[in-house]
Amino acid sequence: MHRRALLALPFLARPALAQSDWPARSIRFVVAFAAGGAADTAARSIAPAIQEELGQSVIIENRTGGNALIAANAALGAPADGYTFLVDAANQLTNPVLMRDLAFDYRTAFVPISQICSFPQVIAVKQDFPARTLAEFIEIAKARPATVTVGTPPAAGMGHLALAAFEHAAGIRLVHAPYRGGADAARDILAGSIDAVLITSSSVRPPIQTGRARALAVTSLARIATMPDVPTIAEQGFPGYDMNDWNGLFATAGVPRAIIARMATAVANATRSPSVRARMDPAGAIMVGNTPEQFADWLDAQRRVAAEVIRASGITLG
């Protein structure tokens, strides 16, 4: 028995040794959204700081489509060894409500590591749209029900939920145009192909800076530093309205807790990095970098909010 115990020791020691040596090679962040959007910008901003802290390169891989299921399945298809992580957003909350035949349960398939940041969203109209205030936008939408097109990324994302909540509160009917990412919606409003967008403060910057779009309102409870002259929806007749977009980092179930804890620390440190803040603050991002436990609690509360908006507004993926 003594000999058997001795023979078993090297095998028992291997998991601890593997964790202590982590990371021994490059790490992959699978981003569920298109390059240039809010989640992609956040991931690419923190990647160099995480790379510097962990001593291994962080590779960003955009896997869009399928309402973020392509990215989720790509992460789930990789070994649970701490070398593949998922950068995701509201799909973690909404897909379980909207999709009956999911092959996995988000709550058990993924482990929250840290919320990277939140992004106030912006309602903006194309340059020749006649509304110059949110009140005028509502007036036009009421006069022309179900004709004003508004782009958000993607279907049933936070932009869509924010739009549905606004439609319900304002008593208007708009035409929702879903996009794979915020950058795609921004390009279309810049080109004048759609009337309006409800996208993050980061994604909306290019069309606004070129004068091809005009901001009417922000979705956060307070005005944002990058657009101090743009009033909130809450202060324009809808008190309490607060619907920010967000993104976070997730591991797949089975990744050792020690690796999750170390990555969470690396994300938290990255969100506080001056170089990261120099890039993200002008985009209007609110950096978070919370603990796995804090992120999990926040997600539980947000699941209830998302489910309520979906049911009240009748949102579907069709």
Look at residue 14 in the predicted model and tell me its pLDDT. Answer: 43
Look at residue 318 in the predicted model and tell me its pLDDT. Answer: 63
CA distance 182 to 159: 9
**CATH code that applies to domain 26-117+245-313:** 3.40.190.150
CATH topology of domain 121-236: D-Maltodextrin-Binding Protein; domain 2 (3.40.190)
Cis ω before 154 (30° cut-off from 0): yes
| R_g of the chain computed on alpha carbons | 21
Say which residue the tokens 């929806």 belong to.
Answer: 233
CA distance 118 to 140: 30
Structural contact between residues 284 and 225, judged by C-beta atoms closer than 8 angstroms = yes
CA distance 53 to 61: 20
pTM for this prediction? 0.82
Look at residue 19 in the predicted model and tell me its pLDDT. Answer: 56
Number of residues assigned to the chain: 318
Q: Residue 90: which of 67, 113, 114 has the closest Cα?
A: 67
Q: Give 10-residue mean pLDDT values along the chain (318 residues).
A: 42 48 97 89 97 98 92 98 96 93 96 96 98 98 98 88 95 94 93 97 92 97 94 97 95 98 98 96 92 97 92 84
Which tokens is 16 given? 């601890």
Any bridge partners for residue 192, and if so which?
A: none
Residue ranges covered by each domain of the chain: 26-117+245-313, 121-236
Structural contact between residues 190 and 212, judged by C-beta atoms closer than 8 angstroms = yes
Structural contact between residues 186 and 33, judged by C-beta atoms closer than 8 angstroms = no
Any bridge partners for residue 29, and if so which?
A: 60, 85
Look at residue 99 in the predicted model and tell me its pLDDT. Answer: 93
121-236 has the same fold as 26-117+245-313: yes
